[in-house]
Structure 1
């Protein structure tokens, strides 16, 4: 919801591409060019050596077909590094040394020391597309002062609780339509793609205050959903291509991506133009128009129309996939642990109508639903590792002097599966997030699915609200049950954690 308006695009994979292929430059000084004074240095930090320390090729040798680890599930390798070397690990990426951090206290120190303009790794495929189409970079692909000029005004709107809760009644209508579309089948199939119908409708309402017509009662897909899936599939898979030939010329893979991206960009353009015409018509005739993110951004000082356009494009495209994937795993764990689902249902019976609007304050009365989502995020972390930071100043971690310019992967996903921080780590225990429960002593920097600080996921609040409302409506009307023989949903990381095969659930109608 990391919705992340493309912020949630997997940092660890962009991090790998960045360091291994050197496709993106950084404004900070390379780590090797800085000398630490006193104490232990970067070279003293433990990590894989031998052939794995070779520049450029060393990192790739850890993974198939050269090693035993699947790069699409790089989290398993991160856990192995933590077990072998400890809470801070030095790994050769490209020609540079990079660090992986597995201690929440170190992660807090890095986040607290964030620079004014936190540097993020640009997505290579998006960068190539923007360059060839002569498009300005989206918010997620921008750094420095340009990023700050767009981010500051935007987050004042999107990260305020009240800014998104006003959409709750409209989202609940969309959720009702989605639940109604499932009545004839008694099943929820082809996940997360089916749930993307709901999330696309939701983000359309957020950005443009309009319905996109994505929700269907059968397996047919609208062009918007087809192109969105193709766009996301190609964007996720480009991280794993051995030879990024699309950077040199327009390969068949790239042409497919370009076609999907062009459709999405033109869709955004179409809805922006329509919304602006509606706004002008309302203004000329003294009619009060309904608020949406586009109008809110246009009326915000400090943003140009071009910057608003880039931000809206970012939020619209990035807001579809992460919500659907996260909801898939939430429903899986509630189906796998029916006692937790029954406890949640009692709350929903009290506060959520089977059909009809959910009001702004309703979600605040559902703390157990919020706890279930947090626990689902912990068990299946949305992105492969966690946030990446490249510090603009030296920092000391675990007694090691780390020079500025050193890329650091903050491995929140691995920490979430660590018994040291989460007892019974393999169990779905939402109660550990409930106030007053004896299991709530959780380090706040041990679990950061949306990041932290000035570059945290700008779409967090809307993503969470989308998930809460759809899950509440679905579970208020149906008991979600695993199909016979299903005990797990194997997954890998594409952009976000994604089932390896389409997932399905049986829906049993609830009686009041």
Structure 2
């Protein structure tokens, strides 16, 4: 009787129990029997249970043959540049699980954080992702390039990830670049002083931050100054790179919501995108080749200093990486900050400028451990708990992306619906970031909620994950965080930030989420 009771207990638990807690029952004979029957019970539940609804019953807007839901974007009901708002509307209208068809491709939007957790814990050791930009994947294929970490799956992804893991994901390796990153941030402070007007504003702050990002990434990838903040021809080239990146992300976002004719014919938008990609990649590749040639020359003359060109020499030393692999990995680390770290810094500056009391608290914390022009160390950054809370709260109010995509490897039950293996799901937790259900006083900027003793212990752990989750977490995460920490320290030690207008900063969708309009921060020098 005891055995039968235990058997029933295991069979009727939520299916995620079999995946999340198997070790707890690994010594239980009854559990082993139940696990051997799990696939059978799953089929029975899906086919015969009234509680689990069929995949075809997942709600969503009306779909048409061939074009699916694209007509709603073509006719203007849904605005591509407001895609993040479209997702919020879909959640409000249809609930925690919504189906959309982009042409003949089906996407299931997953909004509930418990469902997101279920997807993550069932994704396996080598998760299958959908590229952020399928246009970038296609471009690299047509140019015979290595696709890079974000555009491959399976064994190829594992090969690349294993090769870069030590250099890109270990704190010690990343912190080696702290003095160089601070050098660039210090020059950025001087650049702000040169560029600001009489009232402290910079005419196009977004572009100037993008130049800082290129210079900081260049010092890591190539260990040389690119001159992006120099005011000469090198800065003009940096501006051209910024402009090309804008075109790439804007057109990639537009093509996502169109019939994929560009995959078969040279459409005007695809042609324009390829021109931007060609310029951007050609320029970045020149930086890569210059660095490799320097390294080769120093090695031949036995003059390569110990600890010099760490990033590039590490990649070149990996036998499993081809020259194409080294180029595209370096290219990605160099370029990705323009679309991620740049808006993140802009949003942080805006939130600090519009919340002066919080800004002063962050300044006092930094000043407690760091004097202006004093070297920033890993130990110092570790102490800046309030600044890190500011960054996290900024990610809540101003997320960088709309979704994380997965192709699920097994059948799952999400919000009571059967979702079969190999389905494309988009995880969209951002619809809850301003919800009182998950964040009390959600409309307020409250870094304290992330501090120890605050609300953080009550916040769902799968709700706010700005760099992703698990083994497919953003490979450049530690470099991005370090850039933000150092830049904010240098800026706050030198400037008081103000915002001269009351209109709130909005976001616009362009593959990722960027500020919709100028970020009018005033930089007032501190005595």
Q: Same fold (TM over 0.5)?
A: yes
Task: Give the one of 275, 288, 292 matched to 1:276.
Answer: 292
> Which has the higher mean CA deviation after the structures are superposed, 251-260 or 176-185?
251-260
1:213 partner SS? coil
Aligned-partner Cα distance in 2 for 1:155–1:445: 23
More helix by share: 2
User: Hey, what does 1:505 align to over in structure 2?
Assistant: 521
Aligned to 2:428: 411
Residues 93/267 of structure 1: CA separation in 2 closer, same or farther (3 Å cut): closer
Q: Does 1:41 align with 2:53?
A: yes
**How large is the RMSD of aligned CA atoms in angstroms?**
2.5
Secondary structure at 2:203's aligned position in 1? strand
Shift of 1:395: 1.4
1:227 to 2:241 alignment: yes
Q: Aligned residue pairs: how many?
A: 472
Corresponding residue for 2:338?
320
Calculate the TM-score normalised by the size of structure 2: 0.83
Find 2:419's aligned residue among 388, 396, 402: 402
Q: Give 5+ residue unaligned stretches, structure 1.
A: 1-34
Secondary structure in 2 aligned to 1:508?
strand
Please tell me whether residue 239 in structure 1 is matched to residue 253 in structure 2.
Answer: yes
Q: Cα offset for 1:339?
A: 0.8
Residue 73 of structure 1: SS of its match in structure 2?
Answer: helix
Note if contact 1:231-1:257 (Cα within 8 Å) is conserved in structure 2.
no
Whether the aligned pair in 2 keeps the contact of 1:205 and 1:292 (CA below 8 Å) is: no
Per-residue CA distance 1:174-215 (angstroms, 9 max, x = gap): 011010112242323313211011110111111111111101
Alignment of 1:309-458 (within 5 A): 309-384=327-402, 386-438=403-455, 440-458=457-475
TM-score computed with the length of structure 1 as normaliser: 0.85
Aligned 8 A contact 2:55 2:417 in 1 = no
- SS of 2:164 mapped into structure 1: helix
Q: Report the equivalent of 1:492.
A: 508
CA 440–335 in structure 1, closer or farther in 2 if over 3 Å, else same: farther
Against the structure 1 CA distance between its residues 114 and 345, is the aligned structure 2 distance closer, same or farther, given a 3 Å change threshold?
same
* In structure 1, distance between residues paired with 2:74 and 2:353: 33
Deviation at 1:315, TM superposition (A): 1.8
Change (3 A) 1:75 1:293: same
Partner of 1:153: 163
Q: In structure 2, what is the Cα distance between the partners aligned to 1:196 and 1:204?
A: 12
Give, in whole Å, the separation in 1 of the partners of 2:345 and 2:481: 10
Q: Which of 103, 111, 120 matches 1:111?
A: 120
Which residue in the other structure is 2:147 paired with? 137
2:172 paired residue among 139, 162, 168: 162
In the alignment, structure 1 residue 180 sits paired with structure 2 residue 196: no
| Residue correspondence of structure 1 range 22-37 to structure 2 within 5 A | 36-37=46-47
**What is the rounded CA distance, in whole Å, between the counterparts of 1:115 and 1:61 in structure 2?**
35
Unaligned runs of 5+ in 2: 1-44
The 3 A distance-change label for structure 1 pair 308 and 42 is farther
Q: Deviations over 1:269-295 (max 9, x none)?
A: 322233223323433324424143212
Question: 1:46–1:89: 8 Å Cα contact kept in structure 2?
Answer: yes
Would you say 1:259 and 2:268 are equivalent positions?
no
For the residue of structure 2 that corresponds to 1:349, the secondary structure is: helix
Is the Cα contact below 8 Å between 1:88 and 1:102 reproduced in 2?
yes
- Which residue pairs with 1:474 in the alignment? 491
- Give, in angstroms, the shift of residue 340 of structure 1: 0.5
Task: Determine if the alignment matches structure 1 residue 85 to structure 2 residue 94.
Answer: yes
Output one character per residue of 1:42-62: Cα deviation in whole Å (capped at 9) or x when no partner.
33644235xx23244342244
Cα pair distance change 1:91/1:261, threshold 3 Å? closer
Secondary structure at the residue paired with 1:233? helix
Question: Following the alignment from structure 1 to structure 2, what is the Cα–Cα distance between the partners of residues 98 and 227?
Answer: 33
* C-alpha distance in structure 1 between counterparts of 2:150 and 2:297, whole Å: 32
User: Given that residues 482 and 505 in structure 1 are in contact (C-alpha distance below 8 angstroms), is that contact kept between their aligned partners in structure 2?
Assistant: yes
- Residues 366, 56 of structure 1: CA spacing in aligned structure 2 closer, same or farther, 3 A cutoff? farther
What are the equivalent positions in structure 2 for 1:197-216 lying under 5 Å apart? 197-216=211-230
Alpha-carbon distance in structure 2 between the residues aligned to 1:391 and 1:208: 37
Which of 87, 110, 117 is equivalent to 1:101?
110
Q: Deviations over 1:283-308 (max 9, x none)?
A: 33244241432122223454333322
Following superposition, the deviation at residue 416 of structure 1 comes to 1.9
CA distance in 1, matches of 2:59, 2:269: 35
Task: Give 1:97 deviation, angstroms.
Answer: 4.3
5 Å-filtered alignment, 1:267-306, equals 267-283=283-299, 284-289=301-306, 290-300=308-318, 302-306=320-324
Which of the pair has more CA radius of gyration? 2
Contact 1:203 1:320 in 2 (8 A): no
Aligned partners of 2:234, 2:226: CA distance in 1, in Å? 15
Q: Deviations over 1:150-184 (max 9, x none)?
A: 11221232111222122111111101101011224
The more displaced of 357-366 and 322-331 is: 357-366
CA deviations on 1:106-142 (whole Å, 9 max, x unpaired) are 1111111113432222433223322432323232222
Q: Which whole-Å CA distance do the structure 2 matches of 1:231 and 1:166 have between them? A: 28
> After the TM superposition, which of the residue ranges 497-506 and 474-483 deviates more from structure 2?
497-506
